[in-house]
Chain A
């Protein structure tokens, strides 16, 4: 699904990730954890090609990331569901349109997607908020809208960056349930989070592996979590 081999990345001359190797098998559920600033977001950006690795090789769906042109990058992103740390909505469009946006830019007709999107919006519990603009949403609502947008194209791979940041415990649980449901549908899920309680809760429900970013590379966390 996704494979990194000896990948290094640094902003400027301060190395952040060094010789990082990792393989996500199809259908797996992974947590990526580590203190704030350890490079979780950077790691995910490498995975969805917002950043290019300075060394090493990244393979996504069997394609070498370094060899993709801009159109291929766009195509590939249509196959990955991304929940960005800062959500990345278009603030002038209603929530429903933001959720539908990936299908719009992929050239699908809105009519054919209407049912899918209506279902998705109710799945994340935003039916009442569908016409609101993103800035009017609460933190939890934003995160749920971001999750709905991430899965609207039925991606096989879902990357979520702190999907439970800025939300209360109850909402975290709810978001986690949505992610677990997606994994049970066969999707590969990678969740970056520093919320260890969330991880503990998840491990009670799914076969989740925990990766810890430390010293620029990832280690499989022990069972002590």
Chain B
């Protein structure tokens, strides 16, 4: 028996059962790549914001000061009164008046080492260490005002709050970007898959007529779009990671933007992008395919 030229499909090879879809294939790869590239930056923004917020919080949290400004002869009494109140205040882990030496160290950068601290009418500083829960700043302020007229509580919240709000807003924008990118990818894959499904309506009906189950037909399409999205997103992710790595180093002083990037283990996070993109493509294609199949008996 002649076997000449008898080519049979590899088992379940969907790339032969559905004819090539040409331009939609390229578009899918390209858009997946572009989305992944953008997503790397959104992730970098998220991580950088977290780091920045942590740093601000660390630097400003859990310390507060009470400043006693009074005629020199009243300072010791008022300091003692303030310390008593602080000891009784829940949320205060430790309160301690700075010694003259410590105050001199603080002032040295401005006035030099020979400042006669003792003879100057300087306010006395009390350093407060908060418990992790913190204390009720408003309540403490009211009590100090009533009992220690020269005391001013500086709890840094007025510095901290806007910074934390800014960090939170940035974080929100980061997540929003990730969500929008994911949504766009899903929308684009749905469009491309729907176009491919429409173009192959006949193939689908033939497959059903010869006994293909819905899942078999859907798989022919999901495989294709998932693989394309994986490939495009893989390239886009690597390109994005290279771009982030080439940004100015984060230890250059100051600017927030120079801090955009990944640190240590964070570099693993963008590697999830192609996988998530592939999953999104799979879901979108399968939904579109199942919807289309319901129109075919």
Q: Is B19 an interface residue (CB 8 A)?
A: yes
Interface majority SS (helix, strand, loop, mixed), chain B: loop
Contacts of A196 in B (CB 8 A): none
> Smallest CB–CB gap between B115 and chain A, Å?
89
User: Whole-angstrom distance between the alpha carbons of A118 and B8 in the complex?
Assistant: 10
A residues touching B (Cβ–Cβ < 8 Å)? 48-52, 70-71, 73-78, 82, 84, 88-90, 92-94, 96-97, 100-102, 104-107, 109-110, 113-114, 117-119, 121-122, 127, 130-131, 149, 153
B residues touching A (Cβ–Cβ < 8 Å)? 1-12, 16-17, 19, 203, 205-214, 216, 293, 297
Contacts of B214 in A (CB 8 A): 70-71, 74
A94-B7, A110-B8 known; A105 vs B216 contact (CB < 8 Å): yes
A100 lies within 8 A of B209 (CB): no
- Supply 12 further A-B pairs (C-beta < 8 A) apart from A70-B214, A105-B207: A70-B293, A73-B297, A74-B211, A97-B16, A101-B17, A101-B207, A105-B212, A113-B8, A117-B6, A118-B3, A127-B2, A127-B4
Q: Which of A51, A78, A107, A110 is the one whose CB lies under 8 Å from B9?
A: A110
A104 lies within 8 A of B17 (CB): yes
B208 lies within 8 A of A74 (CB): yes
User: Whole-angstrom distance between the alpha carbons of A76 and B297 in the complex?
Assistant: 13
User: Whole-angstrom distance between the alpha carbons of A73 and B203 in the complex?
Assistant: 18
Q: Which of B6, B7, B206 is the one whose CB lies under 8 Å from A90?
A: B206
> Smallest CB–CB gap between A4 and chain B, Å?
18
A97 lies within 8 A of B211 (CB): no
B8 lies within 8 A of A97 (CB): yes
> Smallest CB–CB gap between B7 and chain A, Å?
6
Contacts of B213 in A (CB 8 A): 70-71, 74-75, 105
Contacts of B4 in A (CB 8 A): 127, 130
Interface majority SS (helix, strand, loop, mixed), chain A: helix
Q: Which of A50, A78, A119, A122 is the one whose CB lies under 8 Å from B211?
A: A78
> Smallest CB–CB gap between B137 and chain A, Å?
66
A78's nearest neighbour on chain B, judged by CB, is B211
A109 lies within 8 A of B208 (CB): no
> Smallest CB–CB gap between B237 and chain A, Å?
33
User: Whole-angstrom distance between the alpha carbons of A29 and B212 in the complex?
Assistant: 27
Contacts of B17 in A (CB 8 A): 90, 93, 101, 104-105
Contacts of B210 in A (CB 8 A): 77-78, 82, 88, 101-102, 105, 149
User: Whole-angstrom distance between the alpha carbons of A100 and B17 in the complex?
Assistant: 11
In the complex, which of the residues B16, B205, B209 has the most CB atoms of chain A within 10 Å of its own CB atom? Answer: B209
B206 lies within 8 A of A96 (CB): no
Contacts of B9 in A (CB 8 A): 93, 97, 100, 104, 110
> Smallest CB–CB gap between A156 and chain B, Å?
14
A102 lies within 8 A of B3 (CB): no
A-B contact pairs, 29 of them (CB 8 A): A51-B297, A52-B297, A70-B213, A71-B213, A71-B214, A73-B297, A74-B211, A75-B211, A75-B213, A78-B210, A82-B210, A88-B206, A88-B209, A90-B17, A90-B19, A90-B206, A93-B9, A97-B8, A101-B17, A102-B211, A104-B17, A105-B17, A107-B11, A107-B216, A110-B8, A110-B9, A110-B11, A113-B8, A117-B6
